[in-house]
Structure 1
Amino acid sequence: MLEIEGIHAGYGQMSVLRGIDMTLGAGEVVALLGSNGVGKTTLNNVICGFIRPTAGEVRFEGQRITGLPAREIVARGIAQVPEGRRTFPNLTVAENLELGAFRRAGANRRRNFERVCTIFPRLAERLGQIAGTLSGGEQQMLAIGRGIMSEPKLLILDEPSLGLSPILVEEMFALISQINAQGVAVLLVEQNVMQSLKVARRAYVLEQGQLVMEGTAAEMLANPRLRQAYLGL
């Protein structure tokens, strides 16, 4: 579904990504792991059209999307839930969700609204509440629900567990598995290695703008370098 080949990208004269090659199949959950500042969000933004790479190509369902405007990439079926949630704090929960269908799946807005309320019953109880008054976990649910409103074929989640309590982290990863079970492919961009490898089929590890490890979740958990560097084992 998603093919990333030889991507180089950065900001001005600063190089961040250096030769990234990745794939993600339909219906897969693939984890992109790495510490803060290694280029994970930059890669997300290249995929979604916010940053134009200096070299390389991104293909989605066999079609080149490199350089397309972000609105066109959303229309093709890629939705990103950015780090930090970025909900509209002065709008209600319902209004935030409605905005998720602005560019894609508008005809199915009601059906997808009900789908989100089924996945996130806490949001269904707070549809009239101002988004900025929600808890951190509820705002994360709202951000993901807004992404689901566009009927994505690929959902990119950037640090969905950031700032959540341990109990909410467990709940969030269970919800990611539930969303994937409905047929949505997920690129899970995380620092939480153990939880990510519980839900992902495959994983890549990014360090200083380059992929240094890749494999199945089981292979990654057994990799002594990853266990030492990220799990402290």
Structure 2
Amino acid sequence: MLEIRGLRAGCGGVEVLRGLDMAVSAGEIVAVLGANGVGKTTLNKVLSGVVPVRAGEILFDGQRIDRAAPDAIVAAGLIHVPEGRKIFPNMSVRENLELGSYRRGKPRRARNLERVFATFPRLRERMAQAAGTLSGGEQQMLAIGRGMMAEPRLLILDEPSLGLSPLLVEEMFALIRRLNADGLPILLVEQNVVQSLEVAARAYILENGQFALSGTADAVRDNPELRRAYLGM
């Protein structure tokens, strides 16, 4: 579904990503793990067309998208749920969800809305409520539900467990499993190493703009270099 070759990108005069190669196959959960400041969010923004590519290629379902505009990338079905949720706080839950189908999925908006409410019953209960008054966990549900409204063919989740209580973190990873069980490939970008490796098929450890480790989730978990690459130990 997604293939990255020799990807380089950055902000201003600083190169943040320095020659990344990775892939996500149909039906997989692939985790990109790393501490703050190693380039995870930059990678997501590059994949979404928000930050330009300096070198390399990005292919989505066999088609190059490294020079495509963000709206064209969304229309192709590569959907990014950003870090920090980025909901519209003064709009209702329903309005936030409907905006998710602005560029893709509009003809099936009513059906997709029901699917989101079936996945997140709390959002149905609060559909008329201002999104900014929701709890942190409910706002994360809303952000993912908004992504689902666009009928993703591949879903990028950027730090979905960030700021959640331990109980809600467990619920979030259970949700990721359920979405994937329905056939949705997911690129999971996280700091939560332990639980990400439990749900992912494969993983990449990002360190200073490069992948320090990669392989199956089990192999990465058992690699003694994981502590050095991720924790600097």
Do they fold alike, i.e. is TM over 0.5? yes
Q: Percent identity?
A: 64
Matched letter for residue 102 of structure 2: F
Q: Distance in 1 between matches of 2:121 and 2:149?
A: 15
One-letter identity of the residue aligned with 1:20: L
Name stretches of at least 5 consecutive residues in structure 2 with no aligned partner: none
Aligned partners of 2:205 and 2:229 also within 8 Å? no
- CA distance, structure 1, for counterparts of residue 21 and residue 230 of structure 2: 22
Separation of aligned partners in 1, 2:24 and 2:229: 25
Q: If the length of structure 1 is used for normalisation, what is the TM-score? A: 0.97
Counterpart amino acid of 2:10?
G
Alignment deviations for residues 158-210 of structure 1 (CA, whole Å, 9 cap, x no partner): 00000000000000010011111111110000000001011110000000000
Q: Deviations 1:132-172 (Å, cap 9, x if unpaired)?
A: 00000000000000000000001000000000000000000
1:60 alignment counterpart: 60
Paired with 1:231 and 1:125, the residues of 2 have a C-alpha distance of 41
Rounded to whole Å, the distance in 2 between the matches of 1:217 and 1:131 is 35
Q: TM-score, normalised by structure 2?
A: 0.97
Instruction: Measure, in 2, the Cα distance between the counterparts of 1:150 and 1:183.
Output: 15
Q: How much does 1:229 deviate?
A: 5.4
Deviation at residue 122 of structure 1 after TM alignment: 1.0
* Alignment correspondent of 1:155: 155
Alignment map for 1:1-233 (pairs within 5 Å): 1-227=1-227, 230=230
* 8 Å contact from structure 2 (residues 46, 53) kept in 1: yes
Deviation at 1:73, TM superposition (A): 0.2
Separation in structure 2 between the aligned mates of residue 21 and residue 229 of structure 1, nearest angstrom: 17
User: 2 CA distance for matches of 1:46 and 1:146?
Assistant: 20
Q: Is the 8 A contact 1:221 1:227 kept in 2?
A: no
Is the 1:91–1:131 Cα contact (8 Å) retained in structure 2? Answer: yes
In the TM superposition, residue 125 of structure 1 has moved relative to its aligned partner by 1.0
Question: How far apart are the structure 2 equivalents of 1:205 and 1:115?
Answer: 33
CA RMSD of aligned residues (A): 1.3
How far the C-alpha of 1:228 sits from its partner, in A, is: 5.6
SS of corresponding position for 1:46: helix
Offset of 1:110 from its aligned partner? 0.9
Q: Tell me, what secondary structure is at the counterpart of 2:139?
A: helix
CA distance in 2, matches of 1:161, 1:196: 10
Secondary structure of 2:205 counterpart: strand
- Give me the whole-angstrom Cα distance separating, in 2, the residues matched to 1:25 and 1:94: 32
SS at match of 2:188: strand
